[in-house]
Amino acid sequence: VPTGAGDATTLAIPGLRLLDARWLGDGARLVVRAVAADGTSRLYAVGRDGSAPTAITPAGLDVATVGWAVAPNGREVAVSSADGVQLFAVSGGAAGRRLPGSRSRWTVVGWIGSGLLLAESPVDGGRIERVDPASGDATRWADIQPADPAGVMNDDLTTLR
């Protein structure tokens, strides 16, 4: 795990295979996406020294291949799910809440000071919405398209317009 200038620190947590991580603003803790020995994946809060992880997401919500992001204030994480975008406290223990107005097609691509960044198909490009996590109000933040869409197809095999 890069820790800034200087030497890198290796983070190993017994019983978990780490997939990726995001630093929290305090620089002392991280949110890690990890797979347990039983094959389940969750998000955990952990100290930079690898101290005992605290589960953020509940068992049963597979986060191995979904978009997720940490709030700039470090208090919440947003996770894509089949039911839409879910918000969870980094402190763990509390049930998550569904983002108001969330759509099942939305994928979390980031979280900036002015809101969550969500897209329907981030790999293919297209419209990215900035969404207020409290109200669910969405506004267009960007529209990413190829300069020349000739030959580019949508998931349903129609040509981009």
- Please check the confidence at residue 19 and state whether its pLDDT lies above 90: yes
Backbone angles phi, psi at 102, to 5 degrees: -65, 145
User: Of the candidates 78, 85, 31, which has an alpha carbon nearest to the alpha carbon of residue 54?
Assistant: 31
- The pLDDT, as a whole number, for residue 157 is 56
- The pLDDT, as a whole number, for residue 4 is 62
Where is average pLDDT lowest: 54-63, 67-76, 143-152? 143-152
Average confidence (pLDDT) over 106-123: 90
Average confidence (pLDDT) over 67-75: 94
Which is more confident, 11 or 155? 11
Which of 2-6, 60-64, 155-159 is most confident? 60-64
Average confidence (pLDDT) over 107-114: 94
Residue for token pair 């129609």: 158
Average confidence (pLDDT) over 41-69: 90
- Residue 48 token pair: 């930079």
Those residues whose C-beta lies under 8 Å from the C-beta of residue 21, and which sit 6 or more positions away, are 1, 11, 30, 31, 32, 33
Whether pTM > 0.85 for this model: the answer is no
- The pLDDT, as a whole number, for residue 124 is 67
DSSP states of 96-148 as a string?
Answer: PEEPTT--TT-EEEEEETTEEEEES-TTT-EEEEEE-TTT--EEEEEEE--SS
CA 7 vs CA 2, 10, 46, 68, 155: distances in Å: 8, 10, 20, 27, 43
- The pLDDT, as a whole number, for residue 6 is 66
Mean pLDDT (the chain) is 86
